[in-house]
A and B are shown apart, each in its own frame.
Chain A
Amino acid sequence: MAILVDEKTRVAVQGITGREGSFHTRQMKAFGTQVVAGVTPGKGGTGADGVPVFDTLEEAVQATSANTSVIFVPGPAAGDAIMEAAAAGIPLIVAISEHIPVHDVAAAYRFVREQGSRLIGPNCPGLVSSGKCKVGIMPNQLFKEGTVGIVSRSGTLTYEMVDELTRHGIGQSTTLGIGGDPLIGTSFAEALKLFDADPGTDVIVLIGEIGGTDEEEAAEYIGSRDGKPVIGFISGRTAPPGKRMGHAGAIITGGVGGPQHKVEAFEAVGVPVANTIQEIGDRVAAVLGARVR
């Protein structure tokens, strides 16, 4: 089992003829993902890597029954692309694009909610259900089927986490990158709820970072439920306040977003916070080992 994407996922790629869009379309197909349509306005009727291209997402959905979209269009056009996907009735919208103006994301998010869709990202690596489906840009070769759910604000750290687990023979159910922007469509708490409801997930790894209060809200949710074990990690624990650490959302401002508060919030609800990726791996192994016995 898995969350959000699986064998039934039918992906439409928004911005399929761009550099990133075409490269990652090939990678997704190589992973085994059903990429059923692409959208590039003005290039409707053509094809890209064996995928039919449409002018609008609406046409693509009508012709191919796509149920997930992945967005590679440049930041200035990406807010609009998110709204186009929601208007076309796409239930799951994965925005890989970075540098989308925050005011555009706020408007798009509002619309996505109104339409009853879910937005992942923006500025995220997408998600992978091991052995089933990849939507986004995570490296194909790292994954192994298993029961660890991973949710993270960081791309590369996620890859490293998956690699660490796979090298120790531990597989993953779904690996989800929620994005490094200050305003994102799916929060840690929402991802945890999905993993809690997934019978294929036994333990959850949460990779947070400084900035905002998403980790604290996740801790609040964890404290309110009797669910699966969660192992936490916070990067940027030594970052100074007021400095934006690469991710637009990774900034401590006005006393909000500091690491200590996040670590304390997790520890208060019994979530151990590891110091290194290797330590997370060890803790996951210990939890799974105890379950087997």
Chain B
Amino acid sequence: MKLQEYVGKELLRRAGVPVPAGEVAETPEQAEEIARRLGPVAVKAQVLVGGRGKAGGIKVASSPEEAHIAAQQILGMDLKGLTVTKVLVEQQVKIVREYYAGITLDRSQHCFILMLSSLGGVDIEEVAAQHPEAIIRTWIDPAYGLRGYQIRRAVFAADFDRAALRDLSAIIAGLYRAMLATDAMLAEINPLAVTESGSAMAADAKFDIDDSALYRHPDLARFKTESISDPVERRASELGVPYVKLEGNIGVIGNGAGLVMMTLDIIKQVGGQPANFLDIGGGARAEVVRRAIEVVLLDPKVEGIVMNIFGGITRGDEVAKGLLEAASTMDIRVPIAIRLAGTREAEGRALLKDSAFTPESDVAAATLAVMAQIRGRSGAAVGGNG
């Protein structure tokens, strides 16, 4: 779960990391009022996309009136498909140097890693690609945590401003505490700013919290809904359905993450465009199937559905019964083709005969069947998207 900048900065502040004074506004009037107290400000769109500045989502204002106008321009703005509903109104700081500090999971080393770079203010992935030597990496032993000597060594190696070493080291220690305290998979300060006055502060904050650990962070769990920008994904999350929105018109339902990913691949291979990823998991009961179909059909672009079920522990005939029950309680108006295989496949297929679900031998055949039916419905006027 990714957190907005204003939440991230609050987490840093609680861990003792200095951040610019600022407050959140949802109206231009609020922004004006905040600016009246803070003086010259930056008005920053709170959306979970990169490159806000370039897209016009960050504006500076030297007076409360300018802050009003800036907030008016940014609130309601469409930033890469997301509507801005909140701005962070923040005291301007005169930055003389920008660094990068981030802690994330190193999957192959089985531990978290601190990364520092003197090339801050730009995407760390760009730095990694173009100047890999400019990133100082420090692996964190989970038994001992990130120690002071490691931070000092990293700060020297990264060639950070010697005059601000103490401040910078304290910020990195605070970043680590904030990451631990929130079960973050990623905690990042970019830019880590040295100001005109020689002090250091976090000018931005990015946190990605481990969803599996949200149960021990009820204060953060309430941001879950706001972290999901797509309305269908948001509804699926509320229903507890693992769903990812994609761009196409063929809804996809399957059991098992790997199996569903493979299904998407095959659909594309035969010229179809999948509309989503949806995993109903093991032991598909009628209710689970019904909810899955309901979620897929929330996307208005969906014109047909391909289901891919491999009966392992689950029996094919039980899955088929679940599908039929689901279909009988719903008004399904799009073609559905299903590839049903594995345990008790024949019994399952027999049950599905004469139903709304067309059993097919494999995913490619199911996809082609659905695509043909979509074409048949929309008539010759609409071309294929293959």
Taking Cβ atoms with an 8 Å cutoff, the residues of A that contact B are 27, 75-76, 98-104, 106-107, 109-111, 137-139, 141-142, 152-160, 163, 180, 182-183, 187, 207, 209-210, 212-214, 217, 235-240, 243-250, 254-255, 275-278
Residues A255 and B129 in contact in the complex (CB < 8 Å), given A138-B312, A238-B264: yes
B313 A137 Cβ-Cβ under 8 A: yes
Quick check: is B371 within 8 A (CB to CB) of the other chain? Answer: no
Stretch at the interface among B158-166, B199-207, B210-218: B210-218
Q: How far is it, in angstroms, between the C-alpha of A199 and the C-alpha of B346 when the chains are bound?
A: 37
Quick check: is B125 within 8 A (CB to CB) of the other chain? Answer: yes
Which chain A positions have C-beta within 8 A of B341? 160, 163
Task: Give, as a whole number of angstroms, the nearest-CB distance from A224 to chain B.
Answer: 16
> Residue A183 contacts which of B105, B269, B342 (CB distance < 8 angstroms)?
B105
Q: How far is it, in angstroms, between the C-alpha of A278 and the C-alpha of B339 when the chains are bound?
A: 14
Taking Cβ atoms with an 8 Å cutoff, the residues of B that contact A are 105, 107-108, 110-112, 124-125, 128-129, 141-143, 180, 183, 185, 210-213, 215-216, 242, 244, 246, 254-262, 264-266, 268-269, 274, 277, 279, 282, 310, 312-313, 341-343, 362
A99 B108 Cβ-Cβ under 8 A: no
Which chain B positions have C-beta within 8 A of A236? 258, 261-262, 264-265
B108 A103 Cβ-Cβ under 8 A: no
Contacts beyond the supplied A154-B257, A254-B124, A255-B129: 16 A-B pairs with Cβ under 8 Å: A101-B213, A102-B105, A103-B210, A110-B142, A152-B258, A155-B258, A160-B342, A183-B105, A235-B265, A236-B264, A240-B246, A245-B257, A254-B125, A275-B265, A276-B262, A278-B362
Residues A101 and B212 in contact in the complex (CB < 8 Å), given A107-B143, A142-B312, A239-B264: yes
> Residue A255 contacts which of B125, B142, B215 (CB distance < 8 angstroms)?
B125
Q: Which residue of A lies closest to B256 (CB)?
A: A156
Q: How far is it, in angstroms, between the C-alpha of A75 and the C-alpha of B216 when the chains are bound?
A: 12
Q: Which residue of A lies closest to B50 (CB)?
A: A242
List 11 contacting pairs A-B, 8 Å CB cutoff, sorted by A: A101-B213, A102-B105, A103-B210, A106-B112, A110-B110, A154-B259, A210-B261, A235-B262, A235-B265, A239-B264, A247-B257
Residues A209 and B261 in contact in the complex (CB < 8 Å), given A103-B142, A106-B142, A183-B107: yes
Task: Give, as a whole number of angstroms, the nearest-CB distance from A200 to chain B.
Answer: 24
Task: Give, as a whole number of angstroms, the nearest-CB distance from A218 to chain B.
Answer: 11
Residues A235 and B211 in contact in the complex (CB < 8 Å), given A142-B312, A159-B342, A163-B342: no
Which chain A positions have C-beta within 8 A of B265? 235-238, 275
Q: How far is it, in angstroms, between the C-alpha of A41 and the C-alpha of B215 when the chains are bound?
A: 22
> Residue A102 contacts which of B212, B215, B312, B342 (CB distance < 8 angstroms)?
B212
A156 B255 Cβ-Cβ under 8 A: yes
Q: How far is it, in angstroms, between the C-alpha of A163 and the C-alpha of B342 when the chains are bound?
A: 7
A103 B180 Cβ-Cβ under 8 A: yes
Q: Which of B262, B310, B343 has the most CB of A within 10 A?
A: B262
Interface of chain B, main secondary structure: mixed
A156 B108 Cβ-Cβ under 8 A: no
B258 A157 Cβ-Cβ under 8 A: yes
Task: Give, as a whole number of angstroms, the nearest-CB distance from A163 to chain B.
Answer: 6
Q: Which of B261, B269, B279 has the most CB of A within 10 A?
A: B261
Which chain A positions have C-beta within 8 A of B313? 27, 137, 139
Q: How far is it, in angstroms, between the C-alpha of A217 and the C-alpha of B108 when the chains are bound?
A: 9
Which chain A positions have C-beta within 8 A of B105? 102, 106, 182-183
Residues A160 and B310 in contact in the complex (CB < 8 Å), given A109-B110, A154-B259, A246-B260: yes
Which chain A positions have C-beta within 8 A of B143? 107, 110-111
> Residue A156 contacts which of B111, B185, B259 (CB distance < 8 angstroms)?
B259
Q: How far is it, in angstroms, between the C-alpha of A255 and the C-alpha of B127 when the chains are bound?
A: 12
Q: Which residue of B lies closest to A139 (CB)?
A: B312
A246 B279 Cβ-Cβ under 8 A: yes
B244 A243 Cβ-Cβ under 8 A: yes
List 5 A-B pairs, minimum CB-CB distance, nearest first. Answer: A154-B258, A156-B256, A246-B257, A101-B213, A236-B261
Which chain B positions have C-beta within 8 A of A111? 143
Which chain B positions have C-beta within 8 A of A109? 110, 142
Which chain B positions have C-beta within 8 A of A154? 256-259, 261
Q: How far is it, in angstroms, between the C-alpha of A183 and the C-alpha of B216 when the chains are bound?
A: 20
Q: How far is it, in angstroms, between the C-alpha of A159 and the C-alpha of B255 when the chains are bound?
A: 11
A212 B107 Cβ-Cβ under 8 A: yes
Q: How far is it, in angstroms, between the C-alpha of A240 and the C-alpha of B215 when the chains are bound?
A: 28
Which chain B positions have C-beta within 8 A of A158? 258
Which chain A positions have C-beta within 8 A of B213? 101-104
Q: How far is it, in angstroms, between the C-alpha of A209 and the C-alpha of B259 when the chains are bound?
A: 10
Which chain A positions have C-beta within 8 A of B107? 182-183, 212-214, 249
Which chain B positions have C-beta within 8 A of A101? 183, 210, 212-213, 216
Which chain B positions have C-beta within 8 A of A27? 313
Q: How far is it, in angstroms, between the C-alpha of A138 and the C-alpha of B125 when the chains are bound?
A: 39
A180 B257 Cβ-Cβ under 8 A: yes
B343 A141 Cβ-Cβ under 8 A: yes
B212 A99 Cβ-Cβ under 8 A: yes
A235 B112 Cβ-Cβ under 8 A: no
